[in-house]
Amino acid sequence: MRGSTAGRAAGVACVLAGAAAFLVLRGAGGTGGGGGAAPETDGPGSGPSPGTRAAGGKAAPGDPASAAGTAIRGVVVDGAGSPIAGAEVAASCEGAPAPFRAASGADGSFLLGGLDPGAVFLLGARAPGFAPGVTGGVRPGSGEVRLTLLPPIRLSGRVRSPGGAARAGARVRVLLLYPGLAKPLGGMEVNADEEGRYAFAGLPAVPGEAEASLQGSSSGPRRYDPPAGGGGEVPLDIVLDAGSAVAGRVLSEDGRPLEGVEVSARDPDGRARRSLTRDDGTFEVPGLAAEPLRVSARDPERLYLEGREEGVVPPRAGLEFVLRRDPGAPGRFVFRCVDSAGNAVPGVTLETAREGAGRPTGLCVAGADQEGVFRPGQDQGGRYRLVLSRGAESATVECAVEPGRTTDLGTVRLLPAALLRGRVVLYGEAAPAGILVLVGDSAFPERDAVDAEGRLAIRALPPGRGSIRLAHPRFEQAVVPWSAGPGETADLGEIRLRPALGAVRGAVRTGGGPLPAGSVVRLSREDVFGRGSLDREAAPGPDGRFEFPGVPSGTWRVSAAAPAGGARHARFLTGTAGPEVVLAEGEQREVDVTAPRR
């Protein structure tokens, strides 16, 4: 539970803050005076016992430096009055660069000598098993100081509205009111959990104040007192009035409450506070100023059109938004998936292709939720072909997605995948590097499908019939049919590539002035995703002319890129795209690219 985690973290913070308070705070408990004695510089707990004199300011009984006017004497005891041996005692005053330290003896007594008699000190002690104790306003020679250390307490409770609703996420801050200190110490914070609960463990057993805040609203300080003798639980519920609020509900056209709709209230400066509707469609946006606001209701699933109302002045209750269905809303599909043995699988590689899109619409690794359902996302309405694969198994599913609706594909069973093998050659030699292999009409190349020797291997293909395409920037695309059942291997034999004979040439027009040095012209394949290895570059001549010989058929785009930076180069676009070029096999095309001024 997040509340208990927050409590443990707060406990650590409280102990550290309390321990640090008496070691490093200066002047917090005094009302005047300045330090004139030289403080010690030993590390914590390194000072000698009261029977010795340290160069840093500790003095032993009987030492001249421990005269009544320049020393603080005292005893450290527990709640029953028994002495605490080995407690670390520290004193600090305004202007002292480091605290004065001592350790209590077997009888709990301590002595801090060599102090400025006119200074006012903050005095503290700590010992294992006890919360730190701090007291202020201590002057040298003012008599024996009694420091009582008690077991720590645990402060816990619930932050709620005046009507009892949980204030989830409210920030709770605690300040410690040590006796004799002019200012409170602490400032430890935790956030309330979903039920509004909070907890601080390990707090010093002194009075304190707790304050809750949320979205600009505050409860104000609430005082609490520890039990006598320290230790135990201190309950404290905090009522947090959220201030002015806008409340209401969100419904569909047929009167159904809509859960999870985001309601925002935006002020004239554009700042917004937000809330989500509950399962009954109701909402509340608290912490608002009494000024005209624009309140809107927006469906994160994008199934409904946004509702909006202007000029809403808080406090305002009874707002009602009726959201209409968006006729162009995206649809989605969901499914469960099992392997060939019927075991549920937690994740698959999913490629989606929408009919008529000309290329696949997505490729991702999809994971199932806690209920084992895959919800890969939203898509436009239409017919889709899905290819699911996991390891050596795969499946193909065809479905229709309706706008604004969820299509349940049921359970998809993966089958042992088909395997394709072959060898890519060029005039009897191994094929060149940079060949991309695409399955069917996919625009996503297969990874590492062809090795350095030209051997082709494609795994995890859905069983059935199909074709593969092989693409290269200087060779014509080859299309090879295949057929294989579940777990079968199709041997494609030798696949020969033909050199490309097409060409794309033209000029880069700058609109005046020469091309900057270092400019390049890039020819990019447009009908293959992840097409970097199919791109080609050429350096244009002084007149801006360029030429790409040996271009295979396909869809290409020419772009010019000029170096960025410098006053002269700033007038050119860093990258300028030319027209799309659809090239037939062996065709020669002339293309001009214009690089406009900025």
Rounding to the nearest 10 degrees, give the CA dihedral for residues 578, 583, 588, 592.
-10
Q: Name the band, by pLDDT with cuts 50, 70 and 90, for residue 346.
A: very high
Same domain, 41 and 142: yes
User: What was the pLDDT predicted at 571?
Assistant: 40
User: What was the pLDDT predicted at 596?
Assistant: 54
Same domain, 483 and 514: no
Count Cα atoms within 13 angstroms, Cβ side, for 87: 36
340: tokens are 């060939």
Quick check: is 482 in a domain?
A: yes
Quick check: is 11 in a domain?
A: no
Question: Given the structure tokens 């002194």, which residue do they identify?
Answer: 206
Q: Which residues pair with 386 in a beta bridge?
A: 352, 397
Residue 491 has pLDDT above 80, yes or no: yes
Quick check: is 319 in a domain?
A: yes
Q: Which residues pair with 267 in a beta bridge?
A: none
Same domain, 185 and 136: no
If phi > 0 it is left, if psi is from -120 to 50 it is alpha, else beta; for residue 458 that is beta
Same domain, 424 and 490: yes
User: What was the pLDDT predicted at 549?
Assistant: 94
User: What was the pLDDT predicted at 44?
Assistant: 32
Q: How many residues in the chain? A: 598
Same domain, 280 and 314: yes
- Tell me how far apart the alpha carbons of residues 183 and 136 are, in angstroms, rounded to a whole number: 10
- Domain boundary (116, 148, 180) is at 148
Query: What domain range is 342 assigned to?
Result: 331-416
272-276 and 293-298: which strand pairing?
unpaired
In this structure, what CATH number is given to the domain that contains residue 526?
Answer: 2.60.40.1120
Quick check: is 233 in a domain?
A: yes
Q: Which has more confidence, 532 or 246?
A: 246
Whether the ω angle into residue 162 lies within 30 degrees of 0, i.e. cis, is no
Same domain, 36 and 141: yes
pLDDT in tens, 301-337: 888 999 999 999 988 889 999 999 888 788 888 999 9
Same domain, 448 and 356: no
Same domain, 312 and 248: yes
- Domain boundary (148, 171, 204) is at 148
Question: Given the structure tokens 């005292």, which residue do they identify?
Answer: 74
Same domain, 98 and 124: yes
User: What was the pLDDT predicted at 47?
Assistant: 36
Structurally, how many domains does the chain consist of?
6
User: What was the pLDDT predicted at 243?
Assistant: 66
Residue 127 has pLDDT above 80, yes or no: yes
The pTM of this model reads: 0.43
Same domain, 490 and 571: no
Write out the H or E segment, with its range, that includes residue 252.
strand 244-252
- Domain boundary (358, 389, 416) is at 416
Same domain, 37 and 123: yes
pLDDT in tens, 406-420: 889 999 999 998 899
In this structure, what CATH number is given to the domain that contains residue 424?
Answer: 2.60.40.10
- Burial degree of 380 (CB within 10 A; 0-12, 13-18, 19+): middle
Same domain, 587 and 532: yes
